[in-house]
Amino acid sequence: MAYRNSSLKSNKLITITYVKKDSSTFDTDFVEALAEGVGPDIVILRDDYIYKNRNKLFVIPYANYTQRSFKDTFIEAGEIFLSPDGIVALPFIIDPLVMYWNRDLFSNNLVSEPPKYWDQIYSLVEKITHRDNNANILQSTIALGEWGNITNAKEILSMILLQAGTPITSRDTTGVVISVLNSKFDYPIVPSQSAVNFYTQFSNPTSPSYTWNRSLPSSFNMFLSGSLATYIGFASEVFSIQQKNSNLNFDVTNVPQIRDAVKQTVFGRMYALAIVKQSKQIAGAFLAVNGLIESASIKELETITNLPPVRRDLLVNKPVDAFRTVFYNSALISHSWIDPDSVESEKIFRDMIETITSGRGRLSDALDTADTELSQLLK
């Protein structure tokens, strides 16, 4: 267990029992357990499950855990759990997006290294993407532009939006979460328009950067088969890639950034510990949660998951393992957004992209619709 070396071991008053739940039935199971008075004291929630369950969670007052202490302890990605009243959840696990790249495809096409910046993708498409006489894609540079057959499409699009300068959702002056998907901020043009235009161009047959379409296999399977040069996936996927094709000659690197950007950003999927409001052991739960986020506990969790730690003090000393060095660096620049409902927001994003790629609507109109629907979802 992740608390074997923490202060919890010596505390005989606290016993932790972990029960795994299916994510597809979690919401129903959680509501039923609370209604029957048999709910848990603590839940581990993915970041996009926090907002919709916020009314069921105990908000830790800043008097008990200060904002200063939170920011000094955890990576920036965890700050989406800070509310005007206190801390809704405490970071536990971070799983950042990274770029996996096929070393053989790069070498065979005389490309020495993976892209550091998004603008380098264009020249790679010219060198690596192969089509037959009927314009069918036989070998692809990167999976961008479509939705259904792109593994992690929502997270990839979220990351490109965040990199472009929109946090997607934000708190207004009263602390209420609102959609800022189509906001201009102080940029010359709406940043989300640039981001979505960049994303969709790779599936446009008339574009020089055309390298993906909806008839191809899933991006994960195409990478496994050796026909996709780069695959944007989570750090946790490295084991699956190794197990499913032990002969694949791949490496891992940081996800490309926007050249000359002030801030580097990747999307990180975070899992957090939250105290249930109905718990009869709020004080005990708070002690348990604090024990689970101690350095010793998080370090032990890292040895189990091989994922980078959420604590800043543990990210100081980089590992010697090549893969985990990339994971550590990516964790430090990870960000997410306050997602009101993971399933519904995915539909909103998918409809936006497919409206554009199918030619059913203009990019600006599709963004307007997505922004309106996201606003309604938050209400």
**Sign of torsion over alpha carbons 37, 49, 238, 151:** positive
> Pairing relation of β-strands 137-139 and 266-276?
unpaired
On the question of pLDDT at 204 being above 70, the answer is yes
Contact 116, 261 (CB under 8 A): no
Residue 68's pLDDT band, with cuts at 50, 70 and 90, is very high
Tens of pLDDT, residue by residue over 325-377, are: 999 999 999 999 999 999 999 999 999 999 999 999 999 999 999 999 999 99
For 283-326, the pLDDT digits (tens) are 999 999 999 999 999 999 999 999 999 999 999 998 989 899 99
Name the average pLDDT for the chain: 95
Span 124-150, average pLDDT: 95
Which numeric CATH code is attached to 96-265+339-378?
3.40.190.10
pLDDT at position 170? 97
Supply the DSSP string of 84-137, one letter for each residue.
Answer: SSEES-EEEEEEEEEEEEEHHHHHHTT--S--SBGGGHHHHHHHH-EE-TT--E
- DSSP letter at 197 equals H
Classify 83 in phi/psi space as left (phi over 0), alpha (psi -120 to 50) or beta.
beta
**Nearest one of 204, 139, 198, 200 to 164, comparing CA atoms:** 198
Instruction: Give the residue-averaged pLDDT of 137-165.
Output: 98
Q: What is the pLDDT of residue 7?
A: 66
Query: Is the Cα torsion angle 114, 120, 121, 127 positive or negative in sign?
Result: negative
Say what percent of the chain tops pLDDT 90. Answer: 90
Tokens of 239: 């084991």
CA distances to 129, 140, 225 from 336, rounded to whole Å, are: 31, 28, 30
- Give the pLDDT of residue 154: 98
Q: Fold match between 7-93+270-321 and 96-265+339-378?
A: yes
Q: Which fold has domain 7-93+270-321?
A: D-Maltodextrin-Binding Protein; domain 2 (3.40.190)
Reported as type and span, the H/E element at residue 73 is helix 67-73
Query: Above 60 in pLDDT, residue 3?
Result: no
User: Does the pLDDT value for residue 240 go beyond 60?
Assistant: yes
pLDDT band, residue 135 (cuts 50/70/90)? confident
- According to the model, what pLDDT value does residue 102 have? 98
- Domain residues of the chain, as ranges? 7-93+270-321, 96-265+339-378
- Tens of pLDDT, residue by residue over 8-40, are 666 666 788 889 988 889 889 999 999 999 999
Tokens of 354: 């497919």
